Structure 1
Amino acid sequence: VLALAVPGDTAFPQCSGVLVATGERLRAKAITLSSRKWGVPGDAQLLRLSFGRFGDRVAADTPDDELLSWALGDLATVFGLTIDAVDARIQRWIDAMPQYGPGHAELVAEVRAGLPPTLAVAGSYLDGIGVPACVGAAGRAAERVIGAIGGFDAQVAR
């Protein structure tokens, strides 16, 4: 994952990002306009570009400066903008994304059904890797435990 800070007045379109289909000529597999999704105070916009796909070595083997060059090139191709990055950070998460197989949802349901009421599980390995999926699963897990221990009339923030 390559995180970029760009000048706040950079004219991105009104969207939260782009997912790139396999086989396209872009190097990134996803571009997220993080500032659009989460809001960022200050004079910069934040972006996140993801590189590499399951089974390849792009994320592990590509030098940082080359990833940055690819990112700026893909941003120019997708948005028609020449970007001057204010800052860049690269975080390599090699083999970190779960690969769900057939029957995964049923297996997760079986695991959850076998837990005592005061124990719950949540995480990207269960319900999806996106932030909304993780937050939603955590909220449901917290509600389960709170409901099981009783005495609380609380809503879990999502």
Structure 2
Amino acid sequence: MPGGTAFPHCSGVLVAGDESPHAKAITLSSRKWGQRGDVALLRLSFGRFGDEPALTASDDQLLAWAADDLVTVFGVAVDPVDVRVRRWIEAMPQYGPGHADVVAELRAGLPPTLAVAGSYLDGIGVPACVGAAGRAVTSVIEALDAQVAR
């Protein structure tokens, strides 16, 4: 979007499943990660588990939904500088019952100097992944320190 586009002072919104916008999330990336010259970066995410319309929509339809949703949610009609559509079909893990127990069992079976982390284990958001990676690194460092101290 042009850099002067008047978006609210937030990093974005999550949309409840029963609300009218097609997007499930709108991220004002430039607010989160800094301005990039004279453009504002946005990301709109479409689709939820089992959401067939989002899977089968054409790129043009997704772009039309994006423009409509920006008006609906922020009251802003936009003229994008550039657009990209990226499809991550079945990209988000769907955790079943007992998932936490399976992950705990996996980790318990690893040697102390090996750790695992990732969205398939601990959550799909950046904070969950960064947190899990930090815990994994800490556990390996502590195990290596203990070996050196022996």
TM-score by length of 2: 0.91
Larger helix proportion of the pair = 2
Larger strand proportion of the pair = 1
What letter is aligned with 1:105? A
What does residue 52 of structure 2 align with? 57
Give runs of aligned pairs for residues 1-158 of structure 1, distance below 5 A.
6-150=1-145
d(CA) in 2 for partners of 1:111 and 1:40? Answer: 41
Deviation sequence 1:89-132 (CA, Å, 0-9, x none): 11101111111122222221221122110110000011110111
Report runs of 4+ in structure 1 exceeding 3 Å deviation. none
Percent identity of the aligned residues? Answer: 72
The structure, 1 or 2, with the larger RCO (C-alpha pairs under 8 Å, 6+ apart) is 1
Return the offset for 1:56.
Answer: 2.4
d(CA) in 2 for partners of 1:49 and 1:142? Answer: 32
Number of matched residues?
146
The answer as to whether partners of 1:112 and 1:121 remain within 8 angstroms in 2 is yes
- Gaps of at least 5 residues in structure 2 are none
TM-score by length of 1: 0.87
d(CA) in 1 for partners of 2:32 and 2:135? Answer: 22
What letter is aligned with 1:12? F
Return the offset for 1:40.
Answer: 3.0
Deviation sequence 1:39-66 (CA, Å, 0-9, x none): 1331111111111110122343111111
The answer as to whether partners of 1:117 and 1:145 remain within 8 angstroms in 2 is yes
What letter is aligned with 2:52? R
Return the offset for 1:71.
Answer: 0.2
What SS does the aligned partner of 1:87 have? coil
d(CA) in 2 for partners of 1:60 and 1:139? Answer: 34
d(CA) in 1 for partners of 2:52 and 2:21? Answer: 16
